[in-house]
Amino acid sequence: MSGATWRRRDDGATELRVNGVFVMDDVETSSERELARIVLDLGAADVLVGGLGLGHTLRELLASADVRRVVVAELQPEIAGWMRDGTLPGADLLADPRTELVLDDVRAVVADQAPTTLDAIVLDVDNGPGFLVHDTNSGVYESPFLQVCAERLRPDGHVCIWSMDRAPALLDTLGRVFEQVDARGIPVRLQDRDEHYWILTGSRPRDSAIVRA
């Protein structure tokens, strides 16, 4: 099973799976929305989002009048189809003139952006480097792609990555490419227990030359 599937659970929640792996539901969405709030608080107006999912990050971004453009990279075309035909909420998000949906691997979509044109790149393509939905997604968390991200960001731009855990190896990798690297624990309530998801952030080096790790 390599595509996306969704189901309505007995508790009424909508659940999304990709490649047979649980990726999200619409019960606990605080960390997805926090991805958007972090870059909005940093002044982002032109944003690239890796992963459409159930649209919670995109909705939070579009709620801001300061956002000019959101490029959304989504590998699974059926997710966009479900939103457009009303199977899943989100038709209004895709119809927003500021949304540019590209159905392709996020690495290709980022590479296609002109250098220094984005304020933020938000990556929520699976469950983090330790819990991959597709094995090939490991490259999203490695230096070559993160360097491409840095080159597409404006000098005061930021990268923001969702992860199920703190991902210390990824923090080390981010530290070789970005400045002011940080990991923020986001408290969540999962099946009657308190847990944390993580958002890892980094700022593009002010120096115009990106260090090749």
Instruction: Confirm whether 17 is domain-assigned.
Output: no
Instruction: Confirm whether 11 is domain-assigned.
Output: no
Q: Domains in the chain: how many in total?
A: 1
**CATH no. for residue 151?**
3.40.50.150
Domain that holds residue 34: 28-204
Instruction: Confirm whether 5 is domain-assigned.
Output: no
CA distance 131 to 163: 8
Instruction: Confirm whether 7 is domain-assigned.
Output: no
Instruction: Confirm whether 158 is domain-assigned.
Output: yes
Q: Is the Cβ–Cβ distance between 91 and 84 less than 8 Å?
A: yes
Does 146 score more than 80 pLDDT? Answer: yes
Instruction: Confirm whether 130 is domain-assigned.
Output: yes
* pLDDT per position as a tens digit, 80-138: 999 999 999 999 999 999 999 999 999 999 999 999 999 999 999 888 898 888 788 89
Helix (H) or strand (E) holding 64: none
Say if residue 173 is exposed, middle or buried (CB neighbours under 10 Å; 0-12, 13-18, 19+). Answer: buried
Does 210 score more than 80 pLDDT? Answer: no
